[in-house]
C-alpha cells in the first residue's frame, strides 16, 4: 500500500538506470557466490 507515486518522466528517465542496477546486482551476487565457493574450497 505505497502512497508515493513518482512522476512518469522520472520513472522513464531512470528506467535504464534501474535495469543497470538490477544487472550489476545479479553479477555481484554471482561473483560473491563464486568467491565464497572458492574460499570454501581453498
Tens of pLDDT, residues 1-42: 677 776 666 556 666 788 889 999 999 999 999 999 999 986
Alpha-carbon gap, residue 20 to 5, rounded angstroms: 21
CA atoms within 13 A on the CB side of 15: 6
pLDDT of residue 33: 96
Place of cell 542496477: 21
What pLDDT shows up at residue 2?
A: 72
15 burial via Cβ count (<10 Å: 0-12, 13-18, 19+):
exposed
Is the whole model's pTM more than 0.85, yes or no? Answer: no
Amino acid at each position: 500500500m505505497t502512497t508515493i507515486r513518482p512522476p512518469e518522466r522520472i520513472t522513464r528517465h531512470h528506467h535504464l538506470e534501474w535495469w543497470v542496477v538490477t544487472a550489476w546486482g545479479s553479477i555481484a551476487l554471482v561473483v560473491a557466490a563464486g568467491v565464497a565457493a572458492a574460499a570454501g574450497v581453498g
